[in-house]
Amino acid sequence: MNNEIKKGLIGVISDETKISEVMPDINSLTYRGYTVQELCEKCNFEEVAYLILNDDLPNKNQLSEFKKNERNNREISDNLKSIIKNYPKKAHPMDTTRTSISHMGLEDPDASNNSKEANMRKSLRLLAKVSTAVAANFRVRKGQDIIEPNNDLDFCENFFHMCFGKVPSKEVVKAFDASMTLYAEHSFNASTFTSRVITSSLSDMHGAVTGAVASLKGPLHGGANEAVAHMLNEVGSSDKAEEFILNKIKNKELIMGFGHRVYRNGDSRVPTMTEYFHKTAKYYKNSELPKISKILEDTMLREKNIKPNLDFPAGPTYLLMGFDIDFFTPIFIVSRITGWCAHIMEQFESNKLIRPLSKYTGTSHRKISK
């Protein structure tokens, strides 16, 4: 038996998946074999969600049916709306989103049914309802009325409608749509692995997703996009950017938005998201955020040879769109719910309880002396 300890399970292959892969030969993240760059260019998020959940891109009829089902499941219950209205105003939106999803499990008619058909129904309901719950929380915390979903709008358009009461330009919606595609899935990351561990005990989908949300909250995982936005606000202006990052490096402080355990030649999602970040900044006539970001990126590469990850361009993009910083990671959930649900269903298909061993390093055997 190999007793080597791999802290953080670095390099450990714990299972196999057909959902996504970072292909080293092309240094690209792929969903079911398609590169995320091509998916962003040629598909919208609804098509990508179908792909992740169903193993292939939809034809016209399949997409139409998928959209119809998603739109028909967008509404959340009056009971959940009441709960959202009573969340503490200072509660982090990740905590409230986690609670909302847990409550959805109490109401879902298939909650305890783990058949493939029931889990697919739950996946679609979660995809449809989570965005509504996040948007409702977004408005309630501002003292505004909840806006009901509009079934005449596409998924991303509807999210803006529920948050702001209006849909922005096509350029802004496309940038948001691309971010949804890029955040949708990423193999055995911390939150996805958490969902699979929970599923392996034959728990239910809502429980597994709730656990995934708790894992995603951490700043070393999904919370990094929030940290990036706070950092950009702290920098303030491009003439202070280089000194700011050099001081961070000198003081050996953790700098969020840089580096990734999986990518060795840079996060393959970054160029695409950066392109949409710059387009969004141009639309809002903001040249300062791209300048600050570029200086931070160049300085980190020069001083530490570390490249940015997806959170680095996604954070300022959401900032420009008008979302509150602490809602960035719940927006991540609105997208990643697809990947989590796909992995939960895959785990059920070929399940084995995930139960690793540990090496005991505590006090040696002793006896009570009395």
Q: Which ranges of 55-115 would DSSP assign to H, the alpha helix?
A: 60-72, 78-85, 93-107
Report the C-alpha gap between 310 and 269 in whole angstroms. Answer: 6
Closest CA to 74 of 124, 22, 120, 13: 124
Cα(185)–Cα(180) distance, integer angstroms: 10
Considering the candidates 103, 186, 260, 343, report the single residue annotated as catalytic.
260
Task: Mark whether 311 is an active-site residue.
Answer: yes
User: Which one from 108, 177, 204, 311 is the annotated catalytic residue?
Assistant: 311
> How many other β-carbons are positioned within 10 Å of the β-carbon of residue 293?
26
Q: Is 221 noted as a catalytic residue in this protein?
A: yes
CA proximity to 174, closest of 19, 366, 317, 349: 317
DSSP states of 321-336 as a string? Answer: HT--GGGHHHHHHHHH
Which one from 92, 95, 154, 221 is the annotated catalytic residue?
A: 221
Let me know if 260 is a catalytic residue. yes
Sheet of strand 28-31, all strands in order from the earlier edge strand to the far edge: 20-23, 28-31, 34-35
Contact criterion met (CB below 8 Å) for 123 and 205: yes
Q: Which residues are catalytic?
A: 221, 260, 311
